[in-house]
């Protein structure tokens, strides 16, 4: 093999480093988690679910940067008109229509599937949205689309939903079981 050390030939330190990085290092390594310390605020963990549940899981893409997700309440409030006459648009523009159906992304036969994103955010009925999971997934999705949570993506959120819907549990890592409230706790930790 071309990369094998020749008998009797000492491998230089630089050569060893190069082989390690190019053959295995960069592809398999990464920044697993970033703990931001912000003055006056609680530390915020920015990580994928696997990185959050187990630091042993390697995040292939160390692009775990943007960790300024907004909560369901903030996204909901942002739609409310402002000003004395109520004719000033909300303080935050949504990256997608507020009327997008929850079920168009997070498929389900339950009532929440027919509700719009705006309605899901505004409905705290525990029967309609147990653990407020739907509201937090909507907020997380909006955070992804608006670039506030670059360490998550749409497919990750849909996968969480599908697993909880079909099996009642999501496995962020081997031997780690998350129920709906655990997922909500994780999603909350990625929001300001």
CB 55 within 8 A of CB 47: no
Q: Which stretch binds other proteins (CB under 8 A): 10-18, 89-97, 154-162, 172-180?
A: 10-18
CA atoms within 13 A on the CB side of 95: 12
How many residues at the interface with other proteins, by CB under 8 A? 30
**Nearest CB to other proteins, comparing residues 30 and 90:** 30
CB 172 within 8 A of CB 164: no
How many angstroms separate the Cα of 178 from the Cα of each of 49, 86, 129? 10, 42, 17
Residue 28 binds other proteins, judged by CB under 8 A:
yes
Q: Which stretch binds other proteins (CB under 8 A): 11-19, 98-106, 108-116, 176-184?
A: 11-19
Letter string b/e over residues 52-74, b meaning 16 or more CB atoms within 10 A of that residue's CB:
bbeeebebeeeebebbbbbbbeb
CB 161 within 8 A of CB 104: no
Token match 């530390």: residue?
Answer: 43
- Rule CB under 8 A: choose which of 17, 42, 96, 174 binds other proteins: 17
Residue 145 binds other proteins, judged by CB under 8 A:
no
Report the C-alpha gap between 120 and 138 in whole angstroms.
8
**Nearest CB to other proteins, comparing residues 41 and 127:** 41
* Closest approach of other proteins to the CB of residue 2, in Å: 12
Report the C-alpha gap between 70 and 50 in whole angstroms.
21
* Closest approach of other proteins to the CB of residue 31, in Å: 5
* Closest approach of other proteins to the CB of residue 60, in Å: 10
* Closest approach of other proteins to the CB of residue 93, in Å: 24
30-59 residues in contact with other proteins (CB under 8 A) are 30-38, 51, 55-56, 58
Residues that bind other proteins (CB under 8 A): 13-14, 17-18, 20-22, 24-38, 51, 55-56, 58, 61-63, 65
């Amino acid at each position: 093999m071309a990369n094998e050390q020749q008998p009797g030939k000492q491998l230089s330190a630089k050569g060893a480093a190069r082989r390690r990085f190019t053959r295995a290092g960069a592809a398999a390594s990464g920044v697993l988690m970033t703990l931001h310390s912000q003055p006056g605020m609680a530390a915020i963990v920015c990580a994928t679910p696997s990185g959050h549940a187990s630091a042993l899981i390697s995040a292939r893409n160390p692009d775990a940067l943007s960790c300024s997700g907004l909560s369901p309440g903030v996204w909901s409030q942002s739609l409310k008109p402002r000003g004395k006459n109520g004719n000033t648009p909300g303080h935050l523009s949504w990256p997608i229509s507020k009327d997008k159906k929850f079920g168009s992304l997070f498929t389900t036969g339950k009532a929440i599937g027919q509700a719009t994103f705006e309605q899901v955010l505004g409905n705290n009925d525990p029967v309609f949205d147990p653990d407020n999971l739907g509201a937090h997934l909507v907020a997380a999705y909006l955070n992804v689309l608006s670039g506030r949570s670059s360490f998550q993506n749409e497919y990750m959120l849909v996968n969480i939903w599908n697993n909880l819907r079909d099996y009642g549990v999501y496995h962020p890592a081997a031997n780690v079981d998350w129920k709906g409230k655990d997922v909500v706790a994780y999603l909350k930790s990625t929001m300001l």
